[in-house]
Amino acid sequence: MEIRNIAIIAHVDHGKTALTDKLLKQTGMVADDFSMDQNALEKERGITIYSKNGSIDYKGAKINIVDTPGHADFGSEVERVLRSIDSVILVVDAQEGPMPQTRFVLKKSLELGLKPIVVINKIDKPAARIEMVQEEVYELFLDLGANDEQLDFTTVYAIAREGIAKLNIDDKSHDLTPLLETIVARVEPAKNDIDSLLRAQPFNLAYDDFLGRLAIVRIYEGKIKFGDNVVVKKPDGTIINGKISKLFTFRGLKREEVIEAEAGDIAMIAGIPEIYIGDTICINADQETLPAITIDEPTIALNFLVNNSPFAGREGKFVTSKQIKERLEKELEVNVGLKIDFSSGDFYKVYGRGELHIAILLENMRREGFEIQVSQPQVIFKEEGGQKLEPFEEATIDVPNDYSGTVIEKMSKRKGTIVDMRPEGGDTRIIFHIPTRGLLGYRGEFTIDTRGEGILCARFIDFKPYAGTVEKRDVGSMISMATGKAAAFSLANLENRGTLYVKHGAELYEGQVIGNVAKGNDMAVNPIKGKNLSNMRSSGADDAIKLTPPWEITLERGLETMNADEYLEITPSNIRLRKQLLTETDRIRLARKS
């Protein structure tokens, strides 16, 4: 059978999953109400976190489709996928046009020699500017050094959400047939060299409680058979032997157990616990290895600790250091960008690709019933040729013109430098290079400074020489000096001093951070104190006090706003910020010492 392997790539939210879903539906592979974003977190956040495989049958051809995540924290996942497919569909929002992640995924695709098909999506948006976007996409190709063949791309116009695609804007179309036809015409069938000896390479990992580690592999030559004894060659030269204990291919979104899969196809294998991305699976140890797939290095690190807050153990099922360790070990099976150092007795040091990458892991853990504490994320420094290096990001900011001054000023203080600035659809688009260290903690401030009208997206670009001290606005924490229920009467007074994170009635403990202080340093306060009952009013009057809704601490907000002497406490039902040292006396003593 003819097989075509494609990946769908784009900036976050441009409609990759909507398009993949409709392709699967219209070819009868899945039910109508189905979505590829099936994981609970994906549904809730409306973003793709894990890349996923599906396949469709179209006119006797099998098309394997990999839907990829658009968020920059998961960018390395896309890179791996691109190594293992034959063509990409680059989706671009007809209003937003090419965005940073569009540039990144297209650059990677062009470098690998892939010939993209462009889909200008969301042409139904009232603010769509189809022709301009098309022009911008072409310029981006040129800019990224596309060759003539790559420049000769086909553009398809789409309303992915409704499952409509057309080759000309004025065409009448009711489905995605024009896109499917384009795929069949433009994507070359995968090479089907079944007479050679097997060579296959994993580009993704999965885990199954019964089968253990699974690898999703592209078969380049020969056949994989159930029960085969294979040789796995690692990029470092290590060779291990294994046996294929289960073999699947994809049909629709289901994995289908098969006894044989052949060159050109994507398969999933079980039976080799040590298998890893980029290994070469073959039959003889003297076969040549396939080019390795590099995994991006982590850029930030933080400590995971057992929860030792005064409320520890109240809300979670799994709270011990052993349970946390086992869970993290399981995560390492599939979470490719993650690294963990278990060597310290007091904490586990977790290295990741960005705050969202870490936040997703924490969110999954808390949903499973874990309680945990984490320290402030720190960037990872490297030493190369005697020089100190740190991670840098490219931050693309779209702001209404009025706010661009403030943004530039703050980004400069954080050691950001402008690499480009131009008008963009009524706003100003400014592109900065900035140390990750400078960007940490800036998003909240940015939202406030731009009254929620600015858009900031950033992605890691490289390790570069250390940029020196970063000037940040240090915001003090407002800390509870007592344990008990937050009283509206006290909160109403505290509101004038800063932004509160907790609401009336919340259970608080001594040392918990309940808000920030607009001006000045940390401040211990008493949020428990109700109005004096002796003045004739009942405490019920507390309910009548109108408070501004608190800025509730979410995982991402917590990771961003926390200070170095704080922990973020995470339980299935609460996320609290706290001082590492709970009493003011202890904190003062420590400050005196240093």
Ligand X SMILES: Nc1nc2c(ncn2[C@@H]2O[C@H](COP(=O)(O)OP(=O)(O)OP(=O)(O)O)[C@@H](O)[C@H]2O)c(=O)[nH]1
Q: Which residues bind Mg ion (CB under 5 A)?
A: 16-17, 48
- List the interface residues with ligand X, window 154-193 (CB under 6 A): 159-161
Which of ligand X, Mg ion, none lies near 479, with the C-beta cut-off 5 to 8 A by kind? none
**Interacting positions 248-287 with ligand X (CB under 6 A):** none
**Residue choice 4, 7, 9, 15 for contact with ligand X (CB under 6 A):** 15
Smallest distance, Mg ion to C-beta of residue 12, A: 8
Considering CB under 6 A, how many residues would be counted as binding ligand X? 21
Q: Does 17 engage in binding with ligand X (CB under 6 A)?
A: yes
Strand-pair category, 61-67 with 2-10: parallel
DSSP 176: S
Pair of tokens at residue 437 = 């260290």
Complex with Mg ion: residue 17 or 516, whichever CB lies closer: 17
Structure tokens at 159: 């309303």
User: What's the closest the beta carbon of residue 46 comes to ligand X, in angstroms?
Assistant: 6
Q: Does 10 bind ligand X (CB under 6 A)?
A: yes
- Of these, 80, 115, 122, 223, which contacts ligand X (CB under 6 A)? 122
Q: Does 6 bind ligand X (CB under 6 A)?
A: no
Please report which residue ranges of 62-129 form alpha helices under DSSP H: 75-82, 100-111
CA atoms within 13 A on the CB side of 208: 12
Q: What single letter denotes the amino acid at residue 79?
A: E
Are 305 and 375 in contact, with CB atoms under 8 Å apart? yes
Contacting range for ligand X; rule: CB under 6 A; set: 117-125, 170-178, 459-467, 489-497: 117-125
Q: What is the 8-class DSSP label of residue 340? A: E
Q: Which residue has the tokens 């530039």?
A: 408
Tokens 């006797």, residue located: 60
Report the C-alpha gap between 362 and 367 in whole angstroms: 9
Q: Which listed range, 5-13, 131-139, 181-189, 276-284, lies at the site for ligand X (CB under 6 A)?
A: 5-13
What is the spatial distance between Cα 463 and Cα 475, in angstroms, rounded to a whole number?
28
Residue 174: CB minimum distance to Mg ion, A:
24
Q: What is the DSSP letter of 529?
A: -
d(CA 251, CA 262): 15
Binds 122: which of ligand X, Mg ion, none (CB < 5-8 Å by kind): ligand X
Q: CA torsion, points 169, 172, 175, 178, in degrees to nearest 10?
A: -60
CB of 69 to ligand X, least distance (A): 5
Stated as kind and residue range, the H or E segment containing 178 is helix 177-186
Which of ligand X, Mg ion, none is residue 558 near (CB under 5 to 8 Å by kind)?
none
Contact 499, 465 (CB under 8 A): no
Q: How far is the CB of 162 from ligand X (least distance, A)?
A: 6
Q: Which stretch in 63-71, 183-191, 271-279, 287-295 sits in contact with ligand X by CB under 6 A?
A: 63-71
Output the 3-class SS for 26-78.
HCCCCCCCCCCCCCHHHHHHCCCCCCEEEEEEECCEEEEEEECCCCHHHHHHH
Q: Does 44 bind ligand X (CB under 6 A)?
A: no
**Closest approach of Cβ 12 to ligand X, in Å?**
4
* Minimum distance from residue 495 beta carbon to ligand X (Å): 35
Q: In terms of CB distance, is 67 or 228 closer to Mg ion? A: 67
Least distance to ligand X from the beta carbon of 263, Å?
A: 30
Q: Would you say 359 and 559 are in contact if contact means Cβ atoms under 8 Å apart?
A: yes
Choose, by CB under 6 A, the member of 4, 14, 213, 410 that binds ligand X: 14
Write down the least CB distance from residue 248 to ligand X, Å: 24
| Residue 263, binding choice from ligand X, Mg ion, none, Cβ under 5 to 8 Å by partner class | none
Structure tokens at 526: 């008493």
Give the x-and-dash track for 65-104 against ligand X (CB under 6 A): ----xxx---------------------------------
b vs e for 69-100, b when ≥16 Cβ sit within 10 Å of the residue's Cβ?
A: bbbbbbbbbbbbbbbbbbbbbbbbbbbbbbbb
**Interface ranges with ligand X (CB under 6 A):** 10, 12-18, 46-48, 69-71, 121-122, 124-125, 159-161
